[in-house]
Amino acid sequence: MGWSAYSTPTPHNNAPAAFPGRMRAYPAMRAYPAMTKVVRSITPVIRAVDTRTTKLPPKQIEPIYNSPQYIAWRAEITSRAGRRCEARDEHGRRCTKAWPEHRVYADHIVELKDGGQPFDINNGMVLCASHHERKTFRVRVQRLKR
Taking the C-alpha atoms of residue 52 and residue 8, their distance in angstroms, rounded to an integer, is: 72
Smallest gap from Cβ 85 to Zn ion, in A, equals 3
Nearest to Zn ion of 73, 127 (CB atom) = 127
Taking the C-alpha atoms of residue 44 and residue 24, their distance in angstroms, rounded to an integer, is: 34
Applying CB under 5 A, which part among 13-21, 27-35, 68-76, 128-136 lies near Zn ion? 128-136
| Binding track, positions 35-74, relative to Zn ion; x by CB under 5 A | ----------------------------------------
Site size toward Zn ion (CB under 5 A) is 6
DSSP for 76-129, written as a single string? HHHHHTTTB---B-TT-PBP--BTTTS-EEEEESS-GGGT--TT-GGGEEEEEH
Range 68-127, binding Zn ion (CB under 5 A): 85, 87, 95, 97
Residues near Zn ion (CB under 5 A): 85, 87, 95, 97, 128, 131
